[in-house]
Amino acid sequence: MNAILALEDGTIFKGSSFGASGERYGEVVFNTSMSGYQEIITDPSYRGQIVTMTYPLIGNYGVNLEDVESCKPFVEGFVVREYSKIASNWRSRDSLGDYLAKNNILGIEGIDTRELTLHIRQKGALKAVLSTEDLNEKSLVKKTKESPGLVGIDLVKEVVCKKPYAWNKKGKYKVVAIDCGIKLNMLRILESKNCKITVVPAGTSSRDILEMEPDGLLLSNGPGDPAALPYLVNTVRELLEKLPIFGICLGHQILGQAFGGKTFKLKFGHHGANHPVKDLRSGRVSITSQNHGFCVDIDSMNKKEIELTHVNLNDGTSEGLRHKKLPIFSVQFHPEASPGPRDAEYLFAEFVSLMKKH
């Protein structure tokens, strides 16, 4: 079946569809990971985005039951150079195309993803539409321009759990994880470090969280514009002096706002599993997994209270902060990986150490 990817600036890419049919809107971004497509499409942070894989061949090891990062795929669309019709791996239970079709996710193959990636790098992340139904180019571009985009939109409410739940039953340290679109590997790693975790939706009040008597609070990753989440910022602000806090990705951006800082939109974001980040405290460089389109403006923070701890070596943007007195820190990247290297997993041990001292 023919498919078209149309961008808001009028650029058109024609290819063939795989997965579901229909029409989907989102911001088109590129991901530089060579593998890990299953973790990528099930990352709730990609809600509202059409993901382009820069590696040319995708789908060759199929889809398994173990590598999901949430209950289902959340990408709006999936763009590849070549979709592998043959899936070969001992853990594979389904092909990527069938998996996308079952979850009503559109895919397109046969386009020049190098050209698309370079276009995004030059123009920035753009609104787009992926369609197998309307193949009229002018019509699609018009629809794309009229679509809402990501700025100012609360997408967190579309991906969070409906009510609190216990992830596991045993552990020395009681952790409440605020689900903004949480990736499951964060919970797996905390469980491996002797934590008993309760997951709560992003709208949970600070009072309800404190009534659970946690030893620490995890602020998870999630999709969309962090400036569109004042309710979550207020909740975190009320908890700042109450217990140790560890923020990841969107959680980092929420924490930055809770401390009085501002966020801004990056030109084309950071998406992939090969981003170098320097820990300014130790000088150590980690290769990290990242997925974000917004960033904390470290210059908007109170430098007497907040310290910049990590910096992106590609573009110099802030990648981590900590409070100089309170047991609170956060990072913009994904120390839980999935997919990607586990260089930064040490940060979970730092969180446990803070809970132990507190």
* Active site residue ranges: 249, 334, 336
DSSP H or E run through 187: helix 184-192
| C-alpha 157 chain-centroid distance | 15
Alpha-carbon torsion (197, 342, 49, 2), positive or negative: negative
Q: How many CB atoms lie within 10 A of CB 180?
A: 30
Give the Cα separation of 325 and 185 in Å (integer): 29
Quote the tokens at residue 17. 């569809």
Q: Give me the half-sphere count of Cα atoms (radius 13 Å) on the Cβ side of residue 92.
A: 16
Q: How many CB atoms lie within 10 A of CB 151?
A: 13
Give the Cα separation of 41 and 103 in Å (integer): 11
| C-alpha 241 chain-centroid distance | 27
Cβ contacts of 85 within 8 Å, gap of 6 or more: 59, 95, 97
Q: What DSSP letter does each residue of 258-285 carry, written as one string?
A: HTT-EEEEEEEEEEEEEEEEEETTT--E
